[in-house]
Structure 1
Amino acid sequence: MGTIAAEAFGAVDTPFALVDEARLNRNIERMNGVAGRHGVRFRPHVKTAKCREIARKIFGGTGPITVSTLKEAEYFLADGFDDILYAVSVSPAKLERARSIANTGAKLTVLVDSVAAARAVADFQRTPPALGVAIEIDSDGRRAGLKPDDPSVVDIAEILEGAPAVRFWGVVTHAGGSYDCIDEDGIRRMAEQERVAVVEAAEKLRARGFACPNVSVGSTPTLTFAEHLSGVTEARAGVYVFQDLVMANLGVCTLDDIALSVMATVISHRPDKGWIIVDAGGLALSKDHGTAEQARDYGYGAVCDADGRLLPGLTVGKVNQEHGLITAADEAAAATLYSILPIGARVRILPNHACMTAAAYDVYQVIAGEAARQWGRCNGW
């Protein structure tokens, strides 16, 4: 990544979130190409970066997006993104806010996965503007949604079709179980399982006379390795813009593709414990230990020097609220620990789960060629 990182951000207090724009651009270009080869509409999940500058890079402007909070919907709508899928089952208490977003001209779609939720939307939506509503399908047993053969899928469609100010949008699924796979073949099987589940639900609805115009799948691993997306109209993915250690362990990317890191400062040496302590702890890195069950465990992050060069064998082994404890994997790494990372040295820590790590920050410091700049992001709900 070059010495610009160390030089350009010397006045910025640590910890801070650092984005390598060249890596970010490559990740975006690669996934745009994957969606293009499959011939599906791409609806990126902007919950990872929550940043208008990054979202605009995906499309070279604006386009259809997926959000995880209504605050994200409001933030991106203000920047011209007006085709928005709110990919969390909507609670009745949030319908007024959803309608206020639709009142501004947005094409907003929300999710339901129960008859009760569908009725709540139908009862609320008595007058225009119409609110899009999709049915969430469970393709892997990991989270919310209905199995494709659940009779409630048809019941919900009937309720939505009969409501005066509702657009029945279609069906949506997310194969979060792909994160548990151990190899590319497993991800490919999960991608097909994801596709089959949502296409089966759409076909059952169409057989009962419902149009079901949209059939949406998505996760970064499954979209990366899917062999085909027959019957699918759109795909979603989010973490791919930054990538992270979990994705690297899955073979989705390499360590050199990870565009987000946390810059931290060495604040203490504990030779008696075999630790170096930095000022980035659980709040700065998150306590997501997503690599714990994978073949390569990076603790709470892999350690690089201030210019982004990986320091082999060093990981953040433990975190407290504001302390990160760097440990060595072997004696060779331990022997150089204190000489290469003196008090005051800066390190960059690659995250396990980029979405969770990025959520700690209001801004990104951005390495952009020979320049440095700052991008804001949206936080909260």
Structure 2
Amino acid sequence: MSGVQNYPNASTESLKAQYVGRRLQDIDGPAAIIDIAAARQNCQVMLDAAEELGVIFRSHVKTHKTTELTRFQVGEKADTVRLVVSTLAEAEQLRPYLEDCKGNGRSIDVIYGLPVQPSNFVRLATLGRDLGELSITVLVDSLHILPFLSRYRELTGNSLGVFFKLDTGYNRAGLTPDSPQFKELLGAIHKVETEMPETIYFRGFYSHMGRSYGSDTTSEALDYLALEIERSHPHDYICAELDRP
């Protein structure tokens, strides 16, 4: 069952009826007032910068949780719609929009941005069944979840994308490359992918340096970025461990 039914949102029509035509000083607080023109421009600047740099940009929706701003974040081109969500309800809220994108020929690539738990798979499968092959990717940082990954395949007939969640200094989730658990989990993921390749697709390593939110300057933010990149690159160890080129 979709979580949207458990946490209903007001319809666009009812919100317009409630707020359109009112003065800002008459709106009950606290309230977030968004300048649509500025939001659209900022999102386009980000998309243009990513294209110029030749990097893939993935939008996070956890702050605004709206279809309208998601449209701005992913743009109107025919490329893949890449999102990361912090709750399943966020993804479920966006499902009609994502289905429209798929109908218009765009591939869907949604990452559930917390280490996945066994209870998540029914709702993830409800999303992934209609959004298509490799539309859903999860984060893994524990051996205990591996036996449950096949549940997604059973429910959808699709493969599940998997990222290994790294801890690069935030100390909230993930594993450090020098930990004993890292070696054990990496080998186990490789075994699942090798023995049951239709079940999962290992996409690589995922890091989130949440401490960067506290940056006060561009220089400080870049220092956090450099640190995250340094700690997210256990390439030599990985190749040796998995015997890959």
State the distance in 2 between where 1:183 and 1:136 align.
Answer: 27
1:139 is matched with: 168
Residues 1:105 and 2:93 are matched in the alignment: no
State the distance in 1 between where 2:45 and 2:183 align.
Answer: 39
- Whether the aligned pair in 1 keeps the contact of 2:50 and 2:57 (CA below 8 Å) is yes
| Inter-CA distance 182–17: structure 2 relative to 1 (3 Å threshold) | closer
2:82 to 64, 68, 83: 64
| Inter-CA distance 9–126: structure 2 relative to 1 (3 Å threshold) | closer
Q: Which amino acid in 2 is paired with 1:39?
A: G
1:115 is matched with: 143
Partner secondary structure for residue 167 of structure 1: strand
Per-residue deviation, 1:195: 1.4
Residues 1:54 and 2:69 are matched in the alignment: yes
Q: Which amino acid in 1 is paired with 2:164?
A: I
2:122 to 89, 92, 96: 96
- Whether the aligned pair in 1 keeps the contact of 2:47 and 2:75 (CA below 8 Å) is no
RMSD: 2.7
Per-residue deviation, 1:70: 1.2
- Bigger Rg over Cα: 1
In structure 1, stretches of 5+ residues that fail to align are: 212-381
* % identity of equivalent residues: 29
Q: How does 1:30-45 map to 2 (within 5 A)?
A: 30-45=45-60
TM-score normalized by structure 1?
0.48
Partner secondary structure for residue 151 of structure 1: helix
- Whether the aligned pair in 2 keeps the contact of 1:114 and 1:152 (CA below 8 Å) is no
Residues 1:198 and 2:232 are matched in the alignment: yes
1:23 is matched with: 38
- Alpha-carbon deviations, 1:22-81, whole Å to 9, x = none? 332232133223323432111111111111111111233371111111121122222125
| Inter-CA distance 175–89: structure 2 relative to 1 (3 Å threshold) | same
| Inter-CA distance 79–158: structure 2 relative to 1 (3 Å threshold) | same
2:110 is matched with: 84
1:187 to 221, 229, 233: 221
Q: Which amino acid in 2 is paired with 1:68?
A: S
- Whether the aligned pair in 1 keeps the contact of 2:124 and 2:152 (CA below 8 Å) is no
In structure 2, stretches of 5+ residues that fail to align are: 1-19, 102-107
| Inter-CA distance 37–65: structure 2 relative to 1 (3 Å threshold) | same
| Inter-CA distance 100–31: structure 2 relative to 1 (3 Å threshold) | same
Q: How does 1:248-287 map to 2 (within 5 A)?
A: none
Looking at secondary structure, tell me which structure has more helix per residue.
Answer: 2
Per-residue deviation, 1:203: 5.3
- Give runs of ≥4 in structure 1 deviating > 4 Å: none
- Whether the aligned pair in 2 keeps the contact of 1:35 and 1:41 (CA below 8 Å) is yes
- Whether the aligned pair in 1 keeps the contact of 2:122 and 2:152 (CA below 8 Å) is no
2:210 to 157, 176, 196: 176
- Alpha-carbon deviations, 1:122-148, whole Å to 9, x = none? 4x3453221111111111133101112
**Higher relative contact order (Cα pairs below 8 Å, separated by 6+ residues):** 1
| Inter-CA distance 47–141: structure 2 relative to 1 (3 Å threshold) | closer
Aligned residues: 205
Q: Which amino acid in 2 is paired with 1:60?
A: G
Q: How does 1:200-219 map to 2 (within 5 A)?
A: 200=234, 204-207=237-240, 208-209=242-243
State the distance in 2 between where 1:83 and 1:6 align.
Answer: 38
| Inter-CA distance 9–88: structure 2 relative to 1 (3 Å threshold) | same
